[in-house]
């Protein structure tokens, strides 16, 4: 099985922005963009992206999951990066057209079609370090993906990072390339030093998120996660899991969570922790590492509530449970 995100459909939907506005989106070869080496994105990181999925149901129909949320977030990222604004309908139609074109290639569950809208600043102008790009490209890549959990959902080991931040505080809710580059060294060091899978960024003791997923603590009937603010990425999966938790009668606490409280509650028998994101859905966390000391979460195994919430979300996505919240859109 190819690694996640390394197989691409041969064509993508693409629209171009320049002084005459947005071009009519068209399907073009996926390896066909021409970029000047002085393009704004290559020097000043004017780039943002999205990640969402299309699912195949048993009757063969194809459904997008919460596309409106991802498109709205992409508009917000573009705005916060001073990239050209676009209409939501344009990007939605580009996503729908691409998925329709390759509908036959959408894998059956547990696989799906991963969709990667991308927006980049293309103006060749290396003097524009402090000015926005005048032109841009918006395109939609498709990548069929298999089961992220092939081989079982092994609970993750997270290193708690209380000093460094994942990215600049005002960039937290922007899904932009520079933020991932910014988190890479801490992640590589955590892998090498304590064999951690990910870093849980907790600047000043405030539990935020990992490099590419949100963090949730489950203690009995309560699910705790940081309240939305501009310092971290507002995951669609986070919102969906919290909604399903409320549906099940759980208490959802969106508030500040300190590292001290996290370690105290995670040590209780039955405690669970998980990462949420489109790619990984809900992945159990088994170990937290602080200053070289390992703290097991609950019994260190994937917990029943984590597995039940993941299953409930997958059931909706796969058409096996009623879509009560209107999250699916048939293409």
Residues 250, 254, 256, CA angle at the centre, nearest 5°?
Answer: 135
Q: How far is the CB of 165 from ligand PLP (least distance, A)?
A: 12
Whether 308 and 302 have beta carbons less than 8 Å apart is answered as no
Contact between 213 and ligand PLP per CB under 6 A: yes
Contact between 237 and ligand PLP per CB under 6 A: yes
Stretch that binds ligand PLP, among 25-33, 117-125, 254-262, 273-281 (CB under 6 A): 273-281
Q: How far is the CB of 198 from ligand PLP (least distance, A)?
A: 11
Strand partners for 144:
113
Strand partners for 277:
281
User: Can you tell me which of 16, 157, 238, 310 binds ligand PLP, judged by CB under 6 A?
Assistant: 238
Torsion of CA 142, 166, 313, 87, to 10 degrees: -50
b or e along 196-224 (b: 16 or more beta carbons within 10 Å of the residue's beta carbon)? bbbbbbbeeebbbbbbbbbbbbbbeeebb
User: Can you tell me which of 125, 153, 212, 309 binds ligand PLP, judged by CB under 6 A?
Assistant: 212
Stretch that binds ligand PLP, among 74-82, 86-94, 97-105, 274-282 (CB under 6 A): 274-282
Contact between 226 and ligand PLP per CB under 6 A: no
Q: Which is nearer to ligand PLP, 17 or 114 (CB)?
A: 114
Instruction: Give the x-and-dash track for 136-175 against ligand PLP (CB under 6 A).
Output: ---------------------------------------x
Nearest to residue 196, comparing CAs of 79, 96, 275? 275
Contact between 209 and ligand PLP per CB under 6 A: yes
Q: Which is nearer to ligand PLP, 39 or 199 (CB)?
A: 199
User: Can you tell me which of 117, 186, 235, 303 binds ligand PLP, judged by CB under 6 A?
Assistant: 235
First CA to last CA across the chain, in angstroms? 27
Contact between 231 and ligand PLP per CB under 6 A: no
Alpha-carbon gap, residue 271 to 266, rounded angstroms: 5
Contact between 223 and ligand PLP per CB under 6 A: no
Whether 304 and 236 have beta carbons less than 8 Å apart is answered as no
Stretch that binds ligand PLP, among 53-61, 77-85, 190-198, 271-279 (CB under 6 A): 271-279
Torsion of CA 194, 195, 199, 200, to 10 degrees: -80
Quick one: tokens of 96? 């729908």
Q: Which residues bind ligand PLP (CB under 6 A)?
A: 51, 175, 209, 212-214, 233, 235-238, 276-278
């Amino acid at each position: 099985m190819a690694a996640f995100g390394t197989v691409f459909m041969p064509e993508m939907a693409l629209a171009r922005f320049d002084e005459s506005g947005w071009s009519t989106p068209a399907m073009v070869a996926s390896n066909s963009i021409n970029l000047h080496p002085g393009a704004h994105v290559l020097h000043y990181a004017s780039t943002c992206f999205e990640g969402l999925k299309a699912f195949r149901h048993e009757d063969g129909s194809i459904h997008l999951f919460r596309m409106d949320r991802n498109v709205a977030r992409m508009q917000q990222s573009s705005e916060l990066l001073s990239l050209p604004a676009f209409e939501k309908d344009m990007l939605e139609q580009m996503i729908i057209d691409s998925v329709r074109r390759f509908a036959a290639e959408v894998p059956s569950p547990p696989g799906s079609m991963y969709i990667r809208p991308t927006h980049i600043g293309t103006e060749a102008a290396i003097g524009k370090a402090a000015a926005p790009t005048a032109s841009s490209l918006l395109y939609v890549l498709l990548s069929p993906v298999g089961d992220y959990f092939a081989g079982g959902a092994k609970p993750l080991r997270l290193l708690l990072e209380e000093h460094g931040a994942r990215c600049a505080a005002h960039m937290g809710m922007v899904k932009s390339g520079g933020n991932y580059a910014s988190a890479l060294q801490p992640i590589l060091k955590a892998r090498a030093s304590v064999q951690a899978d990910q870093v849980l960024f907790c600047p000043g003791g405030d539990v935020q998120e990992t490099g590419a997923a949100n963090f949730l603590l489950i203690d009995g009937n309560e699910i705790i996660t940081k309240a939305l603010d501009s310092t971290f990425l507002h995951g669609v999966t986070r919102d969906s899991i919290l909604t399903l938790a409320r549906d099940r009668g759980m208490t959802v606490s969106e508030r500040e969570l300190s590292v001290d409280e996290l370690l105290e509650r995670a040590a209780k028998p039955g405690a669970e922790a998980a990462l949420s994101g489109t790619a990984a859905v809900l992945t159990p966390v088994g170990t937290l590492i602080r200053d070289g000391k390992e703290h097991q979460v609950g019994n260190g195994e994937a917990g029943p509530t984590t597995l039940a919430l993941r299953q409930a979300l997958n059931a909706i996505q796969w058409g096996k449970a009623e879509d009560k919240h209107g999250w699916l859109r048939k293409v």
